[in-house]
Structure formats: structure tokens, C-alpha cells
Amino acid sequence: MDTDATDTESAEGHDVITDTDRLAYMSLRKRPDTRAKRYALGRSLRHKVPRSALGEWRVARAGRDPVALVEENHEGRVPELVPVRVARMAASPYGFLRGSAVVMADDVAGLPATGIMPVVCGDAHLGNVGFYASPERDLVLDLNDFDEAHPGSWEWDLRRLAASTWVAGRQNGSSEDDCEAAVRACAASYREEIRYLADQPLFTRSFERIDMTRMREHAPDSPLAVELERAANRARERTSDRALPRFTTERHGTRQIVEEPPLITRLPYQEAEMLAEGLDEYLATLDPHWRRVLGGYTLVDVAHKVVGVGSVGLRAYVALLEGSSEDDVIFLQLKQARRSVLARYVHGDSAWHRHQGERVVEYQQALQTVSDPLLGWTTVDGRQFYVRQFRNMKGSVSLDAISAGSLADYAGIAGRLLAKGHARTSGASMIAGYVGGSAKLDEAMARFAQSYADQTEADHAALLAAVKSGRMPMADSA
């Protein structure tokens, strides 16, 4: 039975599991705590951190300067692409939120948290849910951006997802009541899914997933179902062979990637050669079968290609590989991986991951039920990268096209997917014990999301002021 009395009590001395402690559980010779014991421990954490406390938003530190954090995050990026990134962030409050994971990490790290630390997405905004192909070529829906993935507080992810839902709702014209309903649906779905999965065997949790068949069963007649089907159909068209006419041309009998400066640009010979060497090293990080498969392809061309918002300015490349015929092709994407924006709040300045590309791959595979079989990592010119398929039936629902009612349904799906990811790593029973069966968590997330949506709009305005004053450079178009 779940009661809420403990939310107003106080107690001391409750231990929680940290990321360092996780390593102690990675032994088959150590009997794990019982599920009931971990559930009770999670529930007892309400004494120290009432669920209502998760709704608090306050400036996390004196002298908070979101523009300074963005500037710091720009260090090491390609200088001429920074104005493109700023333009994408300046386009709207939601664009700012997408590109400012570093700001929100700094904010939420100072807020009340239980100390339960599974692997988290690190950038769990509503736009980072999307379609992609499973190894069996089924279309699945899941979290799909892991550049910032890292062990961390589960509340950090849920706060970012909730706040992004409110910001997106405002952007597409939803009322404040509709935004609140969407955030409550998101938090309730997270809570219900984590409680369901906490009761499942650990092994069983690893196979939980949402594919299009389940999506149709979830909401067969809703407006969201129509939009999901439309997005899914677009995603099915996004394959390497269909990308050939769009991204390539023939020159002197050889296929080349088409330039579209400044977003797609050719590479100097030396840089292209280093990239080719890096791809050879990448093969060693794949499973043997996929290593043999890719061994049957030849690298034809490489180019620099700007993608996303948060990644703009980091090195990102696309590589064209050709098989036994001219339409047998694979596009690979190499994305520079840097230390997660969460790392400093978990480990301080200490090193934790020897290769940031490997970190992204490891945690993507941990959080997704099924992942791209060509995920791997490499190093090019001293910079660390992860590698994945570029055209892998990837797609997403346009948030601008979602109605108020559909926003709540979609946010609910996102909350469910986030809970699934957290439950696959660690702490599900403790989180389930803490969140309970009442709506207290939902209410807290709604309060936080509205306040942080206001903060995001203020931070976006600060960015625009920095552009106007000349402090921050911005491109004319992005």
C-alpha cells in the first residue's frame, strides 16, 4: 500500500546508491538486495526529499549567467559554425532549450534530488524521442540522442522532459491548462511505467519496447495516431539508398557527396585521410558479424555535415560506403563526443570515461531496447567520435503539428520511454518506491515545468540581448 504521510516527515541516515556503488553490484557472487528492500529504501527517501520538493525552481547559484555557460560550451567548436548554432538557439525558446543542455544541467544539479542514479539520457527533451530501425528493420520509437548520457539523477531527466513539454506546448499555441495536462500525463506515465517495470524480472525489462504495432494499439483513433503514422511513413523513406539522389552526384565516374556550404563541405585531403584511418579503427569496436559486413564495403567519399542544434560546431562527418553495386550503399555518421554536461556534477573534475565516443555508445545501448548494430567509436586527430548509421529510418513527430490533446498523449509516451530507459540500468525499485502511486510527483513536475518554462523564455531573451549587443555572433540563417 502506498501512503503519502512520509512526505511531511523528516529523518536522517538513509543511504542511497551512487554510481560508484553500482560497481559493487556487478558480481554474480554477491546476492543483490531484495526488490522489496530496495522499494522500501526508495519510499523512505521521501523523509529527506518530499516529492513536493521536486516542484521547486530557484536560481541554483548566485550570479547565474546562461549566456556565459553557452559561451563556455562553445569552446573547442568550429568557430565559423558557432553563429549557425546561435541562430538555431535564437529562433525560439524551444530552440534555446534544445541547445542549452549545459544551462539546465547547471540548474537542476543544485535542486533537491533523491540520490538514486541510474544511467540517464542527459538531454531528455521532448524532441529527443523518435523513430529508427531495429536490426530486424522494424520501426521502433525510443529515446534517440545520447551525447550527454551519463550516470546521474533520474529527476534531472524527468525535469528536462517536463520543462520541454511546457515550452513546446506554448510554442504551438497550447493554453497553460493544456501544458499542465501534458506535463502531468508525462510524469504519470513515467511513474506508472517505472512501477510496472520494477515488478518485472531484470532480464525481462531488457526486452520492453514500443514499436508501431503497439503504438496503434495504444491510441488507434486519436489525432496523435495519425501524426505518428505520418512521421513513421516519412521515417521509412529515410534510408541510405534513397539518400543517394539527394546527397550525392557523379563526377569523373565516381560518386561524391554534394556540397551545400556551410552545412555540407568537402574536406582537405589530409583530413579525409585521417577520417579514413579512423573508420578502419572503428571497425574493431563492432561485433564480429557487423565487422565482416562492413568489410564488404569500400569508403567512397567523406564530408563535413552540420546536424542538430546542440551538436552544431562540433566535428560531424558523413561517410559514403559502396558495396557490390552502385545502389548498395551505406551512409555512416561520425559525431564528435565530448565530456557529458552532467559529468562535472557527478564526478567533479575527475576523469571517468577513457573515451567519450565509447561512453555514448555504451549508454545508448543501455537506454534503448534495441540499437543501431553499427554503433561504434573511434579517434580522429586526437578527437573522440562515435559512429552510427546516418540514414537509418530516423524520424520524429513535428512538435509544431501536435494539437493540445495530442501533446498530452505524446508527452505520456515520452515519459513511458524515459522510465523504460532508466529501469534498464539501475534503481527501478528504489525509484518506484519513491514516486508511489499517488499524483504527488505529477503535481510537482507541473509546478517545476511551468516555472522553468518561464526561466527558459527569460534565458532566450538574454541570448537575443547578447546577440543584439554583439556579445554573441549569429548567422543570418541556420
**267 or 31, higher pLDDT:** 267
Cell 516529492: give the residue.
51
Least Cα distance to 157 among 362, 341, 361, 20 occurs for 341
Residue 208: band (very low, low, confident or very high) from pLDDT cuts 50, 70, 90: confident
Residue 214 predicted with pLDDT over 90? no
**185 or 30, higher pLDDT:** 185
Distance CA 240, CA 464 (A): 38
Least Cα distance to 316 among 327, 325, 307, 326 occurs for 307
Residue 263 predicted with pLDDT over 80? yes
pLDDT at site 318: 95
pLDDT tens for 416-474 read 999 999 999 989 999 999 999 999 999 999 999 999 999 999 999 999 999 999 999 99
pLDDT at site 12: 34
What mean pLDDT comes out for the span 350-357?
A: 86
Distances (CA, A) of 13 to 10, 44, 113: 11, 10, 15
User: H helices then E strands: how many in the chain?
Assistant: 19, 13
pLDDT at site 120: 97
C-beta atoms surrounding 128 within 10 Å = 27
Distance CA 276, CA 334 (A): 11
Q: Is residue 449 within 8 Å of residue 163, measured between CB atoms?
A: yes
Residue 234: band (very low, low, confident or very high) from pLDDT cuts 50, 70, 90: confident
Q: What is the mean pLDDT of the chain?
A: 89
pLDDT tens for 303-346 read 999 887 778 989 999 999 999 887 899 999 999 999 999 999 99
pLDDT at site 169: 96
Distance CA 119, CA 423 (A): 9
**286 or 11, higher pLDDT:** 286
pLDDT at site 8: 43
pLDDT at site 295: 93
What mean pLDDT comes out for the span 218-226?
A: 70
Least Cα distance to 117 among 6, 11, 14, 20 occurs for 20
Residue 217 predicted with pLDDT over 80? no
pLDDT at site 410: 93
**24 or 391, higher pLDDT:** 391
Residue 99 predicted with pLDDT over 50? yes
pLDDT tens for 381-417 read 999 999 999 988 888 888 887 888 799 999 999 999 9
pLDDT at site 10: 36
What pTM was estimated for this model as a whole?
Answer: 0.90
pLDDT at site 52: 97
Q: Is residue 199 within 8 Å of residue 164, measured between CB atoms?
A: no
pLDDT tens for 130-162 read 999 888 888 889 999 999 999 999 999 999 999
